[in-house]
């Protein structure tokens, strides 16, 4: 049976209360459906995410520690408490027909009027478009301050690739929302390695998305919000550049997932 049916009875059309459940692209270790519910006379567009076990070891770990769904929920609370955006969690739980048949899920609100970061940088605010130059610079600077502030608080995202960052442009500012947060947490160890990893992930964009000047502008804004790393600016920049080059050499850009 389709997992979505286990949570809420599905149908092909919206019947005024719920439906339809439409599966959307996801990673190899999750299945995701988009749906609409009517609650107290209001319509909510939601995403239902079913977390799949990545291996038998992964299954065994979830018998001893919180599921990825629960960890994502805790991370959402952590981000929200520190002023960072993410989809609102409506429900999280486990369907357990037996010890060996456990399905972990999370139901979140859909983001409205946002676009993934890579779409903003390639299509809506493309490089070398002088008409959008001011907005593009503001986006990069605000994003850099956001990530720098996050790291200054000891919070590191588990997978900060551009597809996991959605941006909303308002008349006065930019707002960012972070997705796939099951590995996002506050960390007190190996901070430098986590910093380089996040900065490398967010920089996995080709020349049709981001220029060398954009990268310098981002690093400047990041260090303004996370000044304790400023004395190590050059070594940090070299490590991030080298790591980004290695990863880009083994991928077919853009990495939009």
pLDDT value at residue 256: 45
CATH code for 3-109? 3.30.200.20
| Residues above pLDDT 70, as percent of the chain | 84
User: Mean pLDDT across the stretch 119-146?
Assistant: 95
At 72-83, the pLDDT tens digits run 999 999 999 999
pTM: 0.87
Distance, CA of 140 to CA of 238 (rounded, Å) = 20
- What pLDDT digit, counting tens, does each position of 26-51 carry? 888 889 999 888 877 788 899 999 99
What is the fold, at CATH topology level, of the domain defined by 115-249?
Transferase(Phosphotransferase); domain 1 (1.10.510)
**pLDDT for 27:** 84
Q: Domain map of the chain by residue range?
A: 3-109, 115-249
pLDDT computed for residue 255 by the predictor: 45
φ, ψ (nearest 5 deg) of residue 120: -60, -45
Alpha helices, H only, the chain: 3-7, 56-61, 68-81, 117-119, 133-152, 191-202, 212-225, 233-249
**DSSP conformation class of 124:** I
Instruction: Inform me whether the pLDDT recorded for 163 exceeds 90.
Output: yes
**Confidence check: pLDDT of 254 > 50:** no
* pLDDT score recorded for residue 58: 60
């Amino acid at each position: 049976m389709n997992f979505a049916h286990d949570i809420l009875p599905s149908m092909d059309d919206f019947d005024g209360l719920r439906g339809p459940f439409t599966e959307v692209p996801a990673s190899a270790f999750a299945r995701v459906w988009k749906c609409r519910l009517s609650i107290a006379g209001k319509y909510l567009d939601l995403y239902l995410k079913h977390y799949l076990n990545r291996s038998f070891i992964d299954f065994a770990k979830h018998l001893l520690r919180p599921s990825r769904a629960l960890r994502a929920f805790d991370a959402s609370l952590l981000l929200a408490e520190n002023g960072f955006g993410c989809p609102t969690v409506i429900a999280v739980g486990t369907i357990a027909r037996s010890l060996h048949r456990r399905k972990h899920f999370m139901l979140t609100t859909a983001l409205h009027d946002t676009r993934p970061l890579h779409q903003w940088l390639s299509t809506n605010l493309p490089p070398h478009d002088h008409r959008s130059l001011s907005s593009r610079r503001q986006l990069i600077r605000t994003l850099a301050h956001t990530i720098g502030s996050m790291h200054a608080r000891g919070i590191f995202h588990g997978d900060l690739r551009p597809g996991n960052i959605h941006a909303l442009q308002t008349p006065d500012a930019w707002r960012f929302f972070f997705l796939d947060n099951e590995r996002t947490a506050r960390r007190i160890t190996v901070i430098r390695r986590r910093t380089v990893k996040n900065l490398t992930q967010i920089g996995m964009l080709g020349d049709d998305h981001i220029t060398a000047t954009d990268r310098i502008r981002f690093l400047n804004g990041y260090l303004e919000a996370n000044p304790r790393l400023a004395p190590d600016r050059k070594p940090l920049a070299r490590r991030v550049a080298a790591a980004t080059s290695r990863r880009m050499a083994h991928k077919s850009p853009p990495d939009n997932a």
